[in-house]
Structure 1
Amino acid sequence: MKSPTPALLLLVLAVSVFNGAVFAAQPINGFRGLRWGDPVSSIPNARKTQSLAIGEHCYERPDDTLTMGKATLSDIRYCFYKDRFSSLVITFPSERDGDAIKLALTEAYGVPSQPHPDLKHHYRWRTSKAEAILEYRPEGGAFIANSEALRRERKNEIRSSTKNRSADR
């Protein structure tokens, strides 16, 4: 029997690696034990911090570890809409930290898309449960993840509210 050609072996290896990356990816269900939709009371000793969007309240965990993989983090904010965990905002101080976060996220959630190829460090992960964006420059950046269900709910409420105000005029 003839042995397989190197090209065939390379193709099988490439397909195996690609399939492994796809099947190893997990849906983004939350962060560090907190799942989308969990109440604020799920965070012991939560400390209120600056909110980033109207109708949202953000908190920090005083005992949070400010690392992700090999990256050093500046800040982790857990944001809640109607007392339900709806988004996560992580900031970090350098491009090196951004590279390390991208590696950790790729290992956990698979290879991201690059919706804007002209932007060097702009990546997106999207699942049925969440959308996440990582963007950074030499001076640092942010990782933002949002619950897809709560984002849709909020969008529908805003749309409904806008229609109601227009009808009242």
Structure 2
Amino acid sequence: MRTLPTLARSLVLIGAALCASAAGAVELRGFRGLMWGDAPSYLGPAQLVQAEGSVACYRRENENMLFGDSPLSAVRYCFNRDRLFLVVLDSTVNLNGLLADFKSGYGAPDVQTAAYARWGGAEANLMVDISTAAPGAAATMRIVANEYAR
């Protein structure tokens, strides 16, 4: 009956691989004091900067304009049907600078090119992407809570 121990070992290895892949997923319960799904009233003093359909984006007064060591030019909190689902950080540094700050806390991205990096995806609870319009240009990070994006 050597097949039973072999099967058991295989199942353990598959389970470990699944746990490792889940452990690599980005898990942020929210961002800077707000939880995913919170209403705009949780922002405190803020200005509406963009609205289209059921989505409204705000800039909070007295925002921390750093992400790690990366200076930011803007931070926008976006709500779909009055529930926080997206945070957009516009940096003043290039992709590599912002990427280094995020990787230090969350590990290597699932996908990376010269102008783009992504953790998670549409099927995950959370997706984070960092992109730039051109090499050397300032980068933008988007953190999307997929549950509230729909």
TM-score category (smaller protein)? 0.7 to 0.9
Identity percentage of aligned residues: 25
TM-score w.r.t. the length of structure 2 is 0.73
1:1-169 equivalent positions in 2, closer than 5 A: 26-51=26-51, 54-95=53-94, 98-114=95-111, 119-126=113-120, 128-136=124-132, 137-151=135-149, 154=150
C-alpha RMSD of matched pairs (Å) = 2.3
Structure showing the higher strand proportion among its residues: 2
Over 3 Å counting, the alpha-carbon distance change for 1:29 and 1:68 in structure 2 is same
Deviations 1:61-101 (A, max 9, x none): 11101111111111000000111101011112231xx3232
Over 3 Å counting, the alpha-carbon distance change for 1:101 and 1:141 in structure 2 is closer
**Count of residues in Structure 1 that have an aligned counterpart in Structure 2:** 126
Gaps of 5+ in 1: 1-21, 155-169
Structure showing the higher helix proportion among its residues: 1
Question: CA shift at 1:109, angstroms?
Answer: 2.1
- The CA distance in 1 between the partners of 2:23 and 2:125, in whole Å, is 16
Over 3 Å counting, the alpha-carbon distance change for 1:49 and 1:145 in structure 2 is same
Runs of 4+ in structure 1 deviating by more than 6 angstroms, as ranges, are: none
Q: Is the 8 A contact 1:59 1:77 kept in 2?
A: yes
Question: CA shift at 1:25, angstroms?
Answer: 6.6
Gaps of 5+ in 2: 1-21
